[in-house]
Amino acid sequence: MKSTRTRGFTIIELMVVVAVIAVVMAISVPNFLAARVAANESAAVANLRTISSAQAQYQAAARADIDADGYGEYGTLAEMGGTRGVRTAADGTAGAPLLVSVLSQSFGLLNMNGEANRSGYLYRVFLPSQSGPATTEMTESGDFSAAVDVDGSETTWCVYAWPQNIGNTGTRTFFVNQSAEVTSADAGYTGTAAIEPLNSGSAFEVGNPADSILGQVAIAATGVDGNRWVVAR
């Protein structure tokens, strides 16, 4: 009887296959990561523009008007997203939430440090406070870090977006305020609580207090944080 034998792979052939797979992985993985970073950064810029539009609607409709002077105040992510009641006092005391939110509810779902998480980026809104650092949402419930400056919040706000994991989910940090101009910097901010009230003035020109959002925004200039901020592309 004639026997049949199945020929297997030799060690050399297996080594060649493994080497080819390693080369393909070495080429494709960095390209995949770069594509993901680019997509997340594009989404961050688009999200900041969405937040800017929502702020304009919120303020124009006087959704929050603590001093009842007919001039609306800018909102927080939780207020605009409808996950927290609109403030009725400077300390952030919440009233009824919006019946129709002006921002996606996902922006109002905050982590333990009061930040929204979207597509690998963390988002945080700041408003002028009555004294000291700017005020912001500090917890999942949207509680304020300090009493808001009612008149100041009728004209001023800002929001930062930075990578949840720098290098993997994004590289640049983005900023926008009431001017609606989105700026960016290779600032190195990463992870939760990277931008807080004490450094909320990072994207403003040198000379501005580090904790104030009332100054001149750095555009094609060095910011308070020592990084060069430019118009985002």
| pLDDT tens, position by position, 114-138 | 999 999 999 999 999 998 899 999 9
Asked if residue 101 belongs to a domain, the reply is yes
Among candidates 124, 142, 139, 157, which has minimal Cα distance to 85? 142
Asked if residue 2 belongs to a domain, the reply is no
What domain count does the chain have?
1
Asked if residue 89 belongs to a domain, the reply is yes
Per-residue pLDDT, 96: 96
Asked if residue 135 belongs to a domain, the reply is yes
Among candidates 195, 193, 52, which has minimal Cα distance to 185? 195
CB atoms < 10 A from the CB of 62, how many? 14
User: Residue 104 is part of which domain span?
Assistant: 11-231
Asked if residue 144 belongs to a domain, the reply is yes
- 190-230: pLDDT as tens digits: 999 999 999 999 999 999 999 999 999 999 999 999 999 99
8 A C-beta contact, residue 180 and residue 193: no
Determine if residue 170 is left, alpha or beta; phi over 0 gives left, psi from -120 to 50 gives alpha, anything else beta: left
Asked if residue 5 belongs to a domain, the reply is no
Report the pLDDT averaged over residues 76-103. 95
